[in-house]
Chain A
């Protein structure tokens, strides 16, 4: 649905109404030359022959082959093997790696940590970004400056963000930790798993708020001014206007961000965890993707690591499927 709407939108932007490709390439794309097609956009476009589309797709396919298909297939094979790190000895062990994984308490606790982490990170990121976007939309003077400052963290490498927070919150030398301790909280992420988890959530969110913020600011700006003005005339306050008008209208963006945040939390926070806590203490922040890295590259348990990445990949597929199949229907895109 999204794809179709987008395509329609594109087509409308390009020509408004009839078939939409204006480029000289158009004849190659569209079957026949009649303008009488009812469906619009690329979706219904047909290629007359295979060569052009092949070459157009080739670079992308090549990259996918090199960096996705070959590694995925190798991971899949490795998941059923027990192997020496140097590759000297390899044994086919069937589902042994998976059995070991699903019997392991450590793996389940890692899954649990991942669940808490992704949800907490999502809620924190989205709500703070929303608050900031709302606030900066209501500031008249220096709006640009605020936006720039708010976007800065995005330019910082995750590892640096992580290590910076690790320092600030270090119970012995960190100024923020000393402040917390001064307030009577026995802050110590090295000895308290919840503190460690909170630290990782903070680091991951801080890094990702900007990303959410960009989208939300753009979405808020696209809310028709006329509606807001008429609500204003009817006596609605800024918060009411935000909750009753802006928020429903930016729902598609919110939904998109929720999915992106989950993907981010599940798959892209490895560097942050590595820099902030290294998965510790006692595996308290060892989220699934970090465990894949640790088991594969630190402890050289290649079979288990491969099995874990296969599980993660299945999870990603499931998430994508669920997104399009169930959730997206409930979101209204016709702004």
Chain B
């Protein structure tokens, strides 16, 4: 073996060791939670650093599913995510299409304004929204929270999907027009199928956003029966640590699994979807 080759092999081995260490370090918090969620509660808290519990138990999982209103939280989160997705996508798709295809007065101005609004954290106007909602009796209501989420997600959706619509050649639409298709027909039968990847990614990102949001949901939904997953977990965690920590880990794992699956399914599109929107912005 030549010296060059040996150096290459040694370098690769070092790199592999380094990456193994990085991956383990990155996964420690998750592994720790998994091991606790499978353990017999208090025993794990005292013992050392072992990542595999002495006896594997699913008691915490059954406890969270049966004793806590976990299913209710899932239902509430699902209603909010689904509702937000429908409202945000319904308004954003047509708007993104119009911004991409038509040149009209005020177009650039509105687009720039939306871009700045997208950078504005909604937390900053949360109190104003709270006060308005209180006046209009929208606190503790799905409708109020869905509108609040949909507003910011609509902006995100317009920018994200406009970038993709821009890449679809106009010629296809012109051909359809010559064949006698109306404006709405073109949108529904030609453009939407072509833009499906962008629409799916944007919709999933709206779902993920709402699934993960906790501040608005904990502030605006004050009844226990309205709690979302975030609010429920938040409350579990803020109870007495020593008893609820394994329970909380189990709940955290349960909440993360569907998201992890969705995430890894769309991960490939996610980066291109995000950069497409970003470059144009």
Binding partners A and B? no
